[in-house]
Every structure is written in structure tokens, then in C-alpha cells.
Amino acid sequence: MTCMLSAAETGVVVFDVLRNDFHRPLVNGKCNRENIEEQITVGILSGHLSPMTQIDVDYVCDMIDDLIKEYGNGGHQVV
């Protein structure tokens, strides 16, 4: 299985997830993958997001985890 999203599309999804706080609450200092996957599914089914593979979703979550690790959680309590 390969990625369906371009780098630009992946970046848009990452920032959309962050802007809408779909990555919260954090789980063990990492993004809330379950919530992100659910919201991406809702976005795809509603036509707001392009179809994507599980590899795309995993990459989005990994990028968000890297941002959390690099920049912290913005002063919010890690759950």
C-alpha cells in the first residue's frame, strides 16, 4: 500500500487536525490517534477530505507526534 496524499495535502491535514484540536486529549504524551482517525473518517465521508490510506493517516499522526516532541504541548497538561 502506498500514500495517496501529496506532501502538500498531508501538511494541510496535519494543520487541520492541530487547528481543530483533534489530536487532544494527548495520550501518554502523544497525539490521540483514535480521535484523529475518527475525525479523518468523518471528513472523508462528508467529502471535506480526499480519500487516503492508513499509511497516510499514520504519517499524519507521526508528524503530529514529532511536533509535540519538538515543541511540547503548549503548556497544556499531558494526559
Q: Mean pLDDT in the chain? A: 91
Residue 73 has pLDDT above 80, yes or no: no
3-state class of 68 per DSSP? helix
Residue 61 has pLDDT above 70, yes or no: yes
DSSP tag of 77 = P
Question: Measured in whole angstroms, how far is the alpha carbon of residue 9 from the centre of its chain?
Answer: 12
Average pLDDT over residues 10-28: 96
Average pLDDT over residues 29-57: 97
Residue 78 has pLDDT above 60, yes or no: no
Q: What's residue 72's pLDDT?
A: 81
**Grid coordinates belonging to 10:** 498531508
Work out the burial of residue 57: count CB atoms within 10 Å of its CB; fewer than 13 is exposed, 13-18 middle, 19 or more buried: middle
Domain borders along the chain are 7-71
Model pTM score: 0.86
